[in-house]
A and B are shown apart, each in its own frame.
Chain A
Amino acid sequence: MATLPKSGTDEFIKGLWKENPVFVQVLGMCPVLAVSNTAMNALAMGLATAFVLVMSNIVVSSLRSFIPKQVRIATYILIIATFVTVVDYLIQAVSLDLYKALGAFISLIVVNCLILGRAEAFASKNTIARSAMDGLGMGIGFAFALFCLGAVREILGNGTLFEAQLFHDSFQNWVVMILPSGGFFTLAGWLLLFNWFKQRKARREHATTLGLSKETV
């Protein structure tokens, strides 16, 4: 599987689904659990992370021959922290309400292991274009996953989606879904679903190869 050379599009698509940072790699759980209480917060956090991921991947990749191995982690963190600070100021300039809602978690993008992980595992070994595609795919995959969690939590916990009322007034909100424990429940549900899909696919592939080998025999 890894032997085939991948195109830029493959690098982009793998992050969305097959190697989704949240549902498959289970990376960056701190913001996933903490800031996914509403769809809007989740989406904003996901997009902020995606921006930092793309920019840091591009810079790390373009400096990959300039940075000696011994100081790479410190330099990567410096680059990531810079873009996080930039995002922090930009969000404050765009909307103070959004800034208030995301709070401390913007600064914590720095320590999101997904970003350092991509810089170390991918961007430091690949071309700028491929790194940008990888960052974009992973970033959008991350934002998508956060949105999946945020939407479920907001719908059940608050009866709304993007603050639009979905149910009749008699709907009793499941407050637990908005609280931290709701993050774990929802994440568990999504992981269950993803693993079920994966196993079903694996079973089918297994069955087809068995069927094929019988035919050949």
Chain B
Amino acid sequence: MSQTELASRPAPPSIWHMYRAMVGVGVVCGLLIVSVFQVTLPIIERNKAEALQEAIFHVLPKARTSSTFRLDDEGGFKALDGDGAGERLVYAGYDDSQELVGLAVEAQGMGYQDVIRLIYGYSFAEEAIIGIQVLDSKETPGLGDKIETDPAFLQNFESLDVSLRDDRTELANPIVPVKHGTKTNGWEVDGITGATISSVAIANILNGSAQAWMPRIQNKLTDFKGGE
């Protein structure tokens, strides 16, 4: 390349100009994101807490108030002040006369597309799951998402048997998914045709969670009595 050719090319911008543009824009963008985050965080947290509260009352229809309990290391349950979130939490629901209605427990597991998060209501009196609500799922619209809308499928969880064996250490019968229309026992989950994987996933999530939680919960009934 000759000298004249080099001279005729426009001078490239200095490194300083490039840094100035990128770092400057980066800093301003960062500030903008942080301020929007700060402003929206309390609103988002309130929305999430409200959604959780609604879900608790949905799966425990008779409950009017609720309080949060954490499973401690000794296997007992302690009431938490305010709204907690995270692992090892259960939500106890009470009716108007402060009688324990049941517990709401969160569970999650792999669905067809992504992790399904759900909450289910457990009734001590019936030793059964009395309602579920999906909190978070990305199942196929129109097929897999029937786990949230299909009335016949949701009927499974109006009274799903999770009673314990006589020695109180294990479920008497694990929750098992069955083909649509072949449900005969209280612990079976009638699947959805066309949403086999998603409906089986729900049964498996409930089974895993019930296997882990039920022996712990049913032996500690007194921990939840007269909360609030």
Contact = CB atoms under 8 A, between A and B. Distances in A.
Interface of A: 37-38, 63, 66-71, 74-75, 78-79, 81-82, 85-86, 89-90, 92-93, 95-96, 100, 103-104, 157-158, 173, 175, 178-179
Contacts of A173: 142
B25 A178 contact: no
Interface of B: 12-13, 17-18, 20-22, 24-26, 29, 32-33, 36-37, 40, 43-44, 47-48, 51, 136, 138, 140-143
Contacts of A158: 142
For the complex of A and B, the 8 pairs showing the least CB-CB separation, nearest first, are A178-B142, A82-B29, A68-B13, A93-B40, A93-B43, A89-B40, A67-B21, A92-B44
B40 A92 contact: yes
A61 to B, nearest CB: 14
B36 A85 contact: yes
A86 B35 CA distance: 9
A101 B44 CA distance: 16
B13 A70 contact: yes
A107 B21 CA distance: 24
Main secondary structure of the interface of B (DSSP, over half): helix
A55 B30 CA distance: 16
B101 to A, nearest CB: 25
Given A90-B40, A93-B44, 13 more contacts: A37-B141, A67-B21, A68-B13, A70-B12, A71-B18, A75-B25, A85-B36, A86-B32, A86-B33, A89-B40, A89-B44, A92-B44, A175-B143
Contacts of B12: 70
A175 B22 contact: no
A78 B143 contact: no
A211 B67 CA distance: 82
- Binding site secondary structure of chain A: helix
A65 to B, nearest CB: 10
A125 B112 CA distance: 46
A126 to B, nearest CB: 19
A37 B140 CA distance: 11
A58 to B, nearest CB: 13
A96 B48 contact: yes
Contacts of A104: 138
Given A68-B17, A96-B48, A96-B51, A179 B25 contact: no
9 contacts: A68-B21, A82-B32, A86-B33, A89-B44, A90-B36, A93-B44, A95-B47, A104-B138, A178-B141
B29 A68 contact: no
Contact of B33 (A82, A100, A103): A82
A37 B44 contact: no
B18 A70 contact: yes
A149 B142 CA distance: 16
Contacts of A157: 142
Contacts of B140: 179
Given A92-B47, A100-B136, A78 B22 contact: yes
Nearest to B51: A96
Given A71-B21, A79-B25, A90-B36, A103 B138 contact: yes
Contacts of A175: 142-143
Nearest to B29: A82
Contacts of B25: 63, 67, 75, 78-79
A158 B149 CA distance: 13
Nearest to B28: A82
